[in-house]
Amino acid sequence: MAKIRVLVVDDSATMRGLITAALNRDPDIEVVGAAGDPFEARGMIKALNPDVVTLDIEMPNMNGIEFLEKIMRLRPMPVVMVSSLTQAGAEMTLRALELGAVDCVAKPTIATNTADTLNEVAVKVKAAARASVRTKADGAPAVRRKDYMPSGDIVAIGSSTGGVEALLSILSLFPETCPPTVITQHMPATFTASFAARLDRASGAKVQEAVDGALLEPGKVYVAPGGATHLEIVRSAGLRCRLTQGDPVSGHRPSVDVLFNSVAQAVGEKAVGAILTGMGRDGAQGLLAMRKAGARTVGQDEQSCVVYGMPRTAFELGAVEKQASLSSMGQTILDLASARR
């Protein structure tokens, strides 16, 4: 099997060396070049034809976002963004994911474990090499549902690689009267607040980062904070968010499995579960528990996934009642949660 050929783009020679060394330690990856700025990288892409590019966001002459836009317009290919853990870095990374970058990884800092962070780069590069690269479509804005009739159901959504684009597409359809919705998206801890704010601007619903004890209300969407806790739903004078400490589950914290299992136990048949694009198995067993508890379930189809991992596993387990394309997923979720179904 041929190795995954990677071009590393970063203005810091130290960071280029760290990323290159980490990737070359993986027997499935070969770094074929390293560039210090987008102009050098452009020539290397033409000459070396890499399978994946890792791209720094903050660079001189042309920042990573501008360069990514050119890549996606002229030569679409898998790109993994390498970003600082700052507010500005988070917002620029979200923009990159909207433009078509496959995934992002945080740069190692004094406060983070450098080895773990760099190992994560290799994992995400290998996922990117298998991804279906999609450019951002410039189409008409989504039309929000006007005829949605609340049924009292809640909606639980899980996603990972490719989830930024998917969730923006889905929530842009959600009206002000949408069912209470909870989301676990695999994302670095410092990014989820910015992501919730981005979703809020795109949706008719009110989108916010989940806080412990928050009451689930119609017209509101709650995004699990990244990093330190899992998001669960519990009954306590209504349905509420609970943030719990604990080890990663299915390799993740927050975990989609934890969210879905809690919904199965607390809500049962008055729920809709949706599993979207992402690498791995997280969420499959939890979605199965939801379906066994009587909930309606839907999985994103292979053709519209960036990575058809989580939905595939859920489908093969029998957890998915029906499949839907990304373009129809928002409508499907609302239909399943509607009093008219």
Query: Which residue numbers are catalytic?
Result: 160, 186, 282
Mean pLDDT of the 213-227 span? 96
Residues 6+ apart with CB under 8 A from 54: 6, 7, 8, 9, 10, 19, 23, 79, 80, 81, 82, 121, 125
- The neighbouring-strand residues paired with 34 are 8
Give me the pLDDT at residue 62, please. 85
How confident is the model over 159-215, as pLDDT tens digits? 999 999 999 999 999 999 999 999 999 988 888 999 999 999 999 999 999 999 999
How confident is the model over 256-315, as pLDDT tens digits? 999 999 999 999 999 999 999 999 999 999 999 999 999 999 999 999 999 999 999 999
Q: Between 188 and 4, where is the model more confident?
A: 4
Lowest mean pLDDT among 48-62, 106-120, 231-245: 106-120
- For residue 138, pLDDT beyond 80: no
Q: Is the dihedral of CA 148, 305, 201, 106 positive or negative?
A: positive
pTM of the predicted model, to two decimals? 0.91
Mean pLDDT of the 67-72 span? 94
Give me the pLDDT at residue 139, please. 44
